[in-house]
């Protein structure tokens, strides 16, 4: 649970409004004043993709379109779940989300 918490912000939805609380983990010898608070890492699900789009090269393109691509979750593909693509991106919280 700690590993998942360290890599994911908390979020919840109520009546089409989204609440996001992002935590920044600071290292033992890291200066808190030097940590930028304008970036947040997110796991994004991309639905309704054709089967040929489930490749890492496409994941990188989607991630770079949304923000900065970090990683691609291949566990769901090895389990035969091809309903959506799951990528992790770093988003600048000052920029509106893209549709």
Q: What does the pLDDT profile of the chain (99 residues) look like in tens digits?
A: 344 444 555 555 555 555 555 566 677 888 878 877 788 888 888 888 888 888 899 999 999 999 999 999 877 666 666 778 889 999 888 888 777
What's the CA gap between 51 and 69, in Å, rounded? 21
Res 81: pLDDT: 65
What's the CA gap between 54 and 89, in Å, rounded? 17
Res 4: pLDDT: 47
Res 71: pLDDT: 94
């Amino acid at each position: 649970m700690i590993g998942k918490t360290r890599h994911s912000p908390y979020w919840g939805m109520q009546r089409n409004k989204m609440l996001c609380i992002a935590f920044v983990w600071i290292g033992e010898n890291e200066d808190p004043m030097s940590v930028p608070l304008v970036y947040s890492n997110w796991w994004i699900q991309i639905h309704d993709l054709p089967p040929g789009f489930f490749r890492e090269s496409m994941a990188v393109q989607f991630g770079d379109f949304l923000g900065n691509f970090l990683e691609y979750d291949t566990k769901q593909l090895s389990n035969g779940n091809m309903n959506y693509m799951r990528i992790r991106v770093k988003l600048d919280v000052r920029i509106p989300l893209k549709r």
